[in-house]
């Protein structure tokens, strides 16, 4: 009302100056500060472009409103210039696409294929043309082999207003089709398929896992020394599965036990060649997963693979954030500016909304970076596609340049004994998603979100009351081993999510390791953008990277 009473005379005066022909009554109608008159006043003000000081500002603070606007602009401009001035990385690929005329080293699922599983070259070229031009109409012209559609390739061109642009982040090329490293990663996948139903707690004594460890350790193209684990700080300590996949999830007034619907044992797919080829062509699977009646805690590789089959994109890091928030102030990073304040507590900044927002904020930026690499740089084939090449080579349908040590391995021989083909047994009837393998999207997500959590919470904080599942997975029991820290269990969570996709047969080890690093770089960029946006006496973000080095922002 004060605004109206102040400006009403000025509105009349200004409009009469601008338009002497205006009806006097149309101005005089604005005679009282009711809602209708206020609406008329606003309409006339904008119609005649009136620009006068309405009232004295009631805002208090260190800056006037115009100063605040200029400062907001300056911060955004400085963040953009910082990203703009970073050196551009190279984006080398492994060269397979240029080396093999039938594109056997590249992703082609959902496009049409011949009986050997080789992609129709015209369809592949149409996909490349669409990706090269970025023309939305050309994506509609890519020939498909069935009903499955490509998963969002145009997101590879998306821009974001937070964090680094996808072109500003690089990763190393994946192993080549014929390399010993690629064969080593495939050997691990065959063994993961064969051992899906063995509980993690039995790895040190089970005959099959011991056989897997021995063959992998002696394989020339395979470096890891711990069976089906990623060697990131803390991930090798204690139980295989992170506490953040076992502990109850605080969810508002509820507490959610992490018991999940689990597939029955030996429920494997795409070991029949005809069914495998149909899936490569984009047809719907004719099989489906059978589930146990009783949900349980994660016990083995199949359980973990199913978790990352049904999860939403940021489920695991969001779960971790909610659990961490329940641990209280002692679990916060030591640089939180409110830890020692006698009068204030963090909330919108350096409190739960801040932590939850950043944990999820990093997800889309990480996926954009991953999709850029997937579609516009590498186009790495999926393990199930490589399994078709192994099968066709060993059955002499056609011979491909695959490392011979893989072809004579115990794992490949055992797969043939059980299924009658050399195809990689899949945990999902549909196999992998319809986008290239490298890097893994799940890995980029957890790499980014877990990095955010390590920046906000104390990595050295010891998690209270750690647990392990009972032998049947229906209850949680106390864990009495060495202490488990927040940092170690967050890193383990990231490793679990990556390995879960490998247990399912849909990703390679390097998809996960490099995807995690890419996500980490995304999170670092986001933290850099926000570092100077706070009013608090805040010094720095600091945490330990996945390679064990400390970083300060």
Judge if 472 and 544 occupy the same domain. Answer: yes
Distance of alpha carbon 97 from alpha carbon 152, whole angstroms: 21
Q: Residue 525 belongs to a domain with what CATH number?
A: 1.10.606.10
What would the pLDDT profile of 79-131 be if each residue is shown by its tens digit?
A: 999 998 989 999 999 999 999 999 999 999 999 999 999 999 999 999 999 99
8 A C-beta contact, residue 216 and residue 187 = yes
Judge if 7 and 107 occupy the same domain. Answer: no
Q: What is the mean pLDDT of residues 469-481?
A: 97
pLDDT at 50 over 50: no
Phi, psi of 380 (to 5 degrees): -70, 140
Phi, psi of 194 (to 5 degrees): -75, -25
Distance of alpha carbon 296 from alpha carbon 299, whole angstroms: 8
Share of the chain above pLDDT 70, in %: 90
Judge if 44 and 122 occupy the same domain. Answer: no
Q: What is the mean pLDDT of residues 42-62?
A: 60
With CA atoms as reference, report the closest residue to 411 among 511, 505, 318, 501. Answer: 505
Q: Give the per-residue pLDDT at 35.
A: 47
Judge if 292 and 424 occupy the same domain. Answer: yes
Q: What is the mean pLDDT of residues 519-544?
A: 96
Judge if 230 and 362 occupy the same domain. Answer: yes
289 φ/ψ sector (left φ>0, alpha ψ -120 to 50, else beta): beta
pLDDT at 41 over 90: no
User: Does residue 77 fall inside a structural domain?
Assistant: no
Run of H or E including 249: strand 249-251
pLDDT band at residue 267, thresholds of 50, 70 and 90? very high
Q: Is 1 helix (H, G, I), strand (E, B) or coil?
A: coil
pLDDT at 316 over 90: yes
Q: Which two tokens stand for residue 41?
A: 């006043």
User: Does residue 81 fall inside a structural domain?
Assistant: no
Summary mean pLDDT of the chain? 92
pLDDT band at residue 158, thresholds of 50, 70 and 90? very high
Judge if 103 and 44 occupy the same domain. Answer: no
Q: Give the per-residue pLDDT at 323.
A: 98
User: Does residue 339 fall inside a structural domain?
Assistant: yes
What would the pLDDT profile of 368-405 be if each residue is shown by its tens digit?
A: 999 999 999 999 999 999 999 999 999 999 999 999 99
pLDDT band at residue 353, thresholds of 50, 70 and 90? very high
Q: Give the per-residue pLDDT at 150.
A: 98
User: Does residue 200 fall inside a structural domain?
Assistant: yes
Q: Give the per-residue pLDDT at 58.
A: 84
Judge if 117 and 9 occupy the same domain. Answer: no
| Lowest-confidence segment of 18-27, 188-197, 272-281, 308-317 by average pLDDT | 18-27
Judge if 221 and 104 occupy the same domain. Answer: yes
User: Does residue 67 fall inside a structural domain?
Assistant: no
CB atoms within 10 A of CB 423: 26
What would the pLDDT profile of 450-466 be if each residue is shown by its tens digit?
A: 999 999 999 999 999 99
28: containing domain? 1-52
DSSP letter at 95 equals: S
What would the pLDDT profile of 500-522 be if each residue is shown by its tens digit?
A: 999 999 999 999 999 999 999 99
User: Does residue 63 fall inside a structural domain?
Assistant: no
User: Does residue 446 fall inside a structural domain?
Assistant: yes
**Which is more confidently placed, 273 or 32?**
273
Q: Give the per-residue pLDDT at 52.
A: 45
Q: Give the per-residue pLDDT at 326.
A: 98
CB atoms within 10 A of CB 457: 22
Judge if 43 and 143 occupy the same domain. Answer: no
Q: Give the per-residue pLDDT at 133.
A: 98
Share of the chain above pLDDT 90, in %: 86
Residues making up the chain, counted from first to last: 553
User: Does residue 132 fall inside a structural domain?
Assistant: yes
pLDDT band at residue 225, thresholds of 50, 70 and 90? confident
pLDDT band at residue 21, thresholds of 50, 70 and 90? low
- CA dihedral over 33, 36, 40, 42, signed as positive or negative: positive
| Total count of domains within the chain | 2
- Kindly give, in sequence order, each residue whose CB lies less than 8 Å from that of residue 85, ignoring residues fewer than 6 positions away: none
Distance of alpha carbon 191 from alpha carbon 212, whole angstroms: 6
pLDDT band at residue 223, thresholds of 50, 70 and 90? confident
Judge if 266 and 335 occupy the same domain. Answer: yes
Judge if 340 and 279 occupy the same domain. Answer: yes
Distances (CA, A) of 266 to 205, 277, 303, 305: 20, 21, 12, 13
Phi, psi of 386 (to 5 degrees): -65, -35
Q: What is the mean pLDDT of residues 421-449?
A: 98
Q: Is 113 helix (H, G, I), strand (E, B) or coil?
A: strand
Judge if 435 and 539 occupy the same domain. Answer: yes
Give the CA radius of gyration of the chain: 29
């Amino acid at each position: 009302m004060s605004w109206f009473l102040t400006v009403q005379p000025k509105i009349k005066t200004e409009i009469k100056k601008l338009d002497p022909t205006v009806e006097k009554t149309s101005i005089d109608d604005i005679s009282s500060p009711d809602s209708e008159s206020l609406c008329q006043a606003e309409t006339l003000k904008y119609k005649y472009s009136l620009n006068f000081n309405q009232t004295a500002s009631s805002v208090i603070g260190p800056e006037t409103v115009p100063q605040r606007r200029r400062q907001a602009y300056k911060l955004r401009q400085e963040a953009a210039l910082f990203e703009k001035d970073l050196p551009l990385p190279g984006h080398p690929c492994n060269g397979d696409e240029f080396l093999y005329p039938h594109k056997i080293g590249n992703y082609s699922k959902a496009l049409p294929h011949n009986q050997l599983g080789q992609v129709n070259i015209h369809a592949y070229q149409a996909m490349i043309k669409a990706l090269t031009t970025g023309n939305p109409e050309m994506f509609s012209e890519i020939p498909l082999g069935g009903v499955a559609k490509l998963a969002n390739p145009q997101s590879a061109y998306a821009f974001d207003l937070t964090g680094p642009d996808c072109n500003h982040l690089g990763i190393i090329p994946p192993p080549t089709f014929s390399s010993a490293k690629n064969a080593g990663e495939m050997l691990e996948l065959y063994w993961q398929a064969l051992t899906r139903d063995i509980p993690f707690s039995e790895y040190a004594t089970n005959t099959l896992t011991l056989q897997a460890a021995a063959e992998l350790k002696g394989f020339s193209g395979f470096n890891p020394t711990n069976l089906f684990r990623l060697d990131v700080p803390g991930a090798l300590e204690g139980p295989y599965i992170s506490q953040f996949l076992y502990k109850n999830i605080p969810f508002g007034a509820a507490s959610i036990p992490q018991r999940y619907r689990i597939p029955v044992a030996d429920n494997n797919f795409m070991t029949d060649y005809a069914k495998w080829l149909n899936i490569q062509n984009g047809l719907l699977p004719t099989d489906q997963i059978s589930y146990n009646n009783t949900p349980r805690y994660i016990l083995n590789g199949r359980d973990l693979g199913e978790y990352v089959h049904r999860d939403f994109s940021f489920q695991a890091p969001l779960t971790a954030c909610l659990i961490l928030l329940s641990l209280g102030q002692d679990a916060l990073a030591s640089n939180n500016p409110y830890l020692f304040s006698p009068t204030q507590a963090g909330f919108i900044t350096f409190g739960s909304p801040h932590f939850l927002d950043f944990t999820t904020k990093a997800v889309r930026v990480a996926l954009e970076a991953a999709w850029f690499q997937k579609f516009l740089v590498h186009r790495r084939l999926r393990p199930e596609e490589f399994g078709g090449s192994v099968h066709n080579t060993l059955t002499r349908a056609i011979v491909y340049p695959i490392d011979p040590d893989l072809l004579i391995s115990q794992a490949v021989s055992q797969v043939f004994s059980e299924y009658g083909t050399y195809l990689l047994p899949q945990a999902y009837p549909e196999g992998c998603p319809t986008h290239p393998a490298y890097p893994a999207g799940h890995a980029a997500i957890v790499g980014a979100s877990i990095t955010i959590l390590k920046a906000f919470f104390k990595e050295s904080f010891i998690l209270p009351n750690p647990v392990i599942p009972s032998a049947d997975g229906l209850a949680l029991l106390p864990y009495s081993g060495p202490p488990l820290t927040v940092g170690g269990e967050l890193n383990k969570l990231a490793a679990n999510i990556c390995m879960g996709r490998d247990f399912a047969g849909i990703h390679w080890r390097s998809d996960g390791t490099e995807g995690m690093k890419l996500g980490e770089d995304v999170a670092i960029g986001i933290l850099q953008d926000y570092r100077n946006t706070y009013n608090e006496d805040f010094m720095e973000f600091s945490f330990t990277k996945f390679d064990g080095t400390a970083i300060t922002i």
